[in-house]
Chains A and B, each alone.
Chain A
């Protein structure tokens, strides 16, 4: 660490010598070696050295700076980017005020087990702080997010930085994945170092993900082959594009129904074995429930009734066997309670689900007799018919309130699908698609790994808008048409991300699901009114976003985003979407504000 500034006289050190580079230049070397494409940041003086190195020394390419209006937006962008691209985005922020802004989005990413690579600035040496750095200075900068990050470090030298930077990357992307934080000392960034004395960059490979042990996998395969009505419940299973292929192979191999809880794009929505639209029935009928990377397995097989007297009951029939395969068993923290209730199961395999599927598939192939294969085939036929009936019923349900105003969410989804189905599309965010009853999952044909990016993870509102922009940024170079169903309450947390999309020419169609209230919270308050036998109509106080209504088209237009709306007549929606998609195809963002029914 550095000596205090007053030890050196004024004028003696003004610029680096020709044979010197700054510490942050070397940091950029390391970040380039790690392969970051982008760094999302709201500028902050505590990482000014790194900022300058990125744009000048690094040429503002790999990583390229993405200007953000809020640190929460920057982290949520990185969250969405990871789920589209499969590799982390770098985020830079002040160590104090920036990290405090970023913390909610980090919590979402942690709950969602998504790696975000965050660097924060801090002047550790009190003797060199400018006045403003005192309230930006902190003893233990990463402390406030340590409960919901996987690892952090404060390097004290460039050698230390190089090792920790590579270690942080490997820690973040090894399942169970989660965000990491590196604290970059301001002086370490800014001081010069002789070019020929720079440390080496470690070449530590990313560790392979943990697979289930062979005996347990064999036991799971025996149970699957012997089951009469198995169901595969999946949530964060598909970690890579190969995850969906493997799940399809396993499901088809044993003729098992699949219930997709949609934290990832796990299984094609129109696959005949997809039983998501009749999930409760599929789980209720099952004699074997296999949970593959399910965040809340207890709630998958039990119900908590939210009345004044809370009660629970199982969803499964008596005697149903259960297996879980999840990295959740490898990573439990104490403070934040995202580990959920403990479910009795017959076999728990602490391993990565996707990494374990190949050996499970091979074991099933080995154990399946000709008789059992006939059973699997017959079962698959029955499940395909149930899938067809459920899909038909969903279309009938969508027809109700078809011409209503405000626009029904079913009509909204159908109008969007009509425009998207001939495109190479990616639904980068939608709160109501996270909900299994959401219309896109019922009406659209999701069959590619990038067509759905999951949801916030921690339930923190404000994820949707920035995660959409991050997902769209990743999709841009692949030429995909990114689309988001954007709720109004979510956008208003930090609408400045629309400017980021416009400034960086990030093509994204945001279709507003503008229902003018925080309806989920409104329902909670109404529930309390009911339980206390008091006026339910007052339950809307504090949750509605009306009087005045927000004009989202004007909001977007003010930041240089093409915008239409508010649209209240469903007949106006199709043409507006067409016009907006033309803009997005030119490489720019567009917002279509649609006033919708409540859900």
Chain B
């Protein structure tokens, strides 16, 4: 029998999830940050301010396919995002979830992004350059930047309070 042990892979998680006994972790630094780039600000999907307001999403009849883009770098980034398991916490479109914050469409600046991936301060596992090369991280970053901005909440009747 398989037993679920809820363990978070993300460095920062939704505040709500933090007090559930099994899911874990608010960030805690055990190693000093790299001197070349600052650690990213601690954020979670629930903490972050809404991003963007211009409705650019597909119509309801046309589901957004995660990897459709005219930019090969974005498509490669989408594949790498999945291959390296980023989606497990940050979810398929980088929108974030209970176990990892939203990453797109406006990710933190690239130097901080790379620094955090290499040496996360919370519960996210570290990805060395041996596992994801810098070039591949750049492609993942491009994929995250390309994520569609959703319509304003006020324009989504299903999300009315």
Contacts and interface: CB of A to CB of B under 8 A. Distances in A.
Contacts of B14: 436-437
Interface stretch (B53-61, B69-77, B108-116): B53-61
Given A401-B91, A526-B85, A436 B17 contact: yes
Given A408-B91, A537-B84, A261 B20 contact: yes
Contacts of A400: 93, 95-96, 102, 147, 150
A296 B26 CA distance: 17
Contacts of B63: 403-405, 407, 568-571
Contact of A393 (B46, B60, B126, B152): B46
Contacts of B57: 402-403
B88 A279 contact: no
B46 A278 contact: yes
A210 B20 CA distance: 26
A167 B40 CA distance: 59
A404 B118 CA distance: 29
Nearest to B102: A400
B16 A277 contact: yes
* In the complex, the 9 A-B pairs of residues with the closest C-beta atoms, listed nearest first: A437-B98, A296-B21, A299-B21, A405-B63, A530-B125, A400-B95, A280-B18, A399-B150, A401-B93
A415 B50 contact: no
Contact of A435 (B6, B87, B152): B6
Contacts of B25: 303-306
A281 B9 CA distance: 20
Given A309-B30, A527-B9, A279 B97 contact: no
B41 interface: no
Contacts of B28: 303, 305, 311, 313
A181 interface: no
Contacts of A569: 61, 63
A435 B91 contact: no
Contacts of B17: 435-437
Most buried by B among A276, A298, A303, A405: A303
B61 A571 contact: yes
Interface stretch (A370-378, A456-464, A502-510, A550-558): A456-464
A587 interface: no
A571 B1 contact: no
26 contacts: A279-B19, A280-B16, A303-B26, A304-B24, A306-B8, A307-B123, A340-B21, A393-B46, A399-B153, A400-B102, A403-B57, A403-B62, A403-B63, A410-B95, A437-B23, A437-B97, A437-B99, A460-B3, A460-B4, A461-B3, A520-B5, A520-B7, A526-B88, A533-B128, A569-B61, A598-B92
A397 interface: yes
Contacts of B151: 399, 402
B20 A536 contact: no
A533 B130 contact: yes
Contacts of A531: 125
B61 A435 contact: no
Contacts of B21: 261, 295-296, 298-300, 340
B142 interface: no
A530 B16 CA distance: 26
A522 B88 contact: yes
A77 B81 CA distance: 39
Contacts of B61: 569, 571
Contacts of B66: 404-405
A339 interface: no
Interface of A: 104, 233, 259, 261, 276-281, 283, 295-296, 298-300, 303-307, 309, 311, 313, 315, 340, 390-411, 414-415, 417-418, 432, 435-438, 441-443, 458-462, 518-524, 526-527, 529-531, 533-537, 539-540, 568-571, 597-599
B30 A307 contact: yes
Nearest to A434: B20
Given A393-B50, A435-B6, A599-B91, 16 more contacts: A280-B15, A303-B18, A303-B28, A305-B122, A306-B8, A315-B19, A436-B14, A437-B14, A459-B5, A523-B89, A524-B5, A537-B84, A571-B63, A597-B91, A598-B97, A599-B97
A394 B95 CA distance: 12
Contacts of B131: 529-530, 533-536
A415 B159 CA distance: 9
Contacts of B125: 307, 526-527, 530-531
Contacts of B59: 403
Contacts of A537: 83-85
B107 to A, nearest CB: 13
Interface in B13-55: 13-26, 28, 30, 45-48, 50
B158 interface: yes
A161 to B, nearest CB: 32
A436 B30 contact: no
A569 B1 CA distance: 34
Contacts of A599: 88, 91, 97-99
